[in-house]
Amino acid sequence: MRQCSLASRAARMSPPLAALALLLALFCAPFAFATQADAIGAEQGRATYYDSHFDGALTASGEPFSNQAMTAAHRSLPFGTKVQVTNLDNGKQTIVKINDRGPFVSQRIIDLSQSAAERLDMVERGVARVRVSVID
């Protein structure tokens, strides 16, 4: 039985169909790969927090952003997922709800509201080493 590679299939597509397939692949790529959090329920990396000028802006979930809420942005976890964030430098923890997408900076795994950052005692530094564990 002859196997057909993706490249050879794309070469046989009509140009409009090939363009549509490419756009679909680019759109779906961020959702196609499981992160460490998806696979085992926890991941480690760096956290930052939102600047106050985002207050009132709509998040990717459609909710207005509030720095007073206990919310966060994650690249792939479903909206509404609750995660425990632990500051690995001081052991402080908080629980946040994922309601936005991001961060889109290498090695950063979560963007927190200012209230969540305050609970982790990371506001002064702006960045902290954290563990993110899915709890719900």
Asked if pLDDT for residue 39 goes beyond 90, the answer is: no
Q: How far apart are the first and last CA of the chain?
A: 45
Of 7-11, 39-43, 70-74, the range with the lowest mean pLDDT is 7-11
Asked if pLDDT for residue 20 goes beyond 60, the answer is: no
Average pLDDT, the chain: 81
For β-strands 127-134 and 108-112, DSSP reports them as: unpaired
Q: What is the pTM of this model?
A: 0.71
Asked if pLDDT for residue 26 goes beyond 50, the answer is: no
Q: Which residue has the tokens 């005692």?
A: 121
Asked if pLDDT for residue 130 goes beyond 80, the answer is: yes
pLDDT band at 129 (very low <50, low <70, confident <90, very high): very high
User: What are the strands, taking DSSP E only, across 11-68?
Assistant: 42-49
Work out the burial of residue 84: count CB atoms within 10 Å of its CB; fewer than 13 is exposed, 13-18 middle, 19 or more buried. Answer: middle
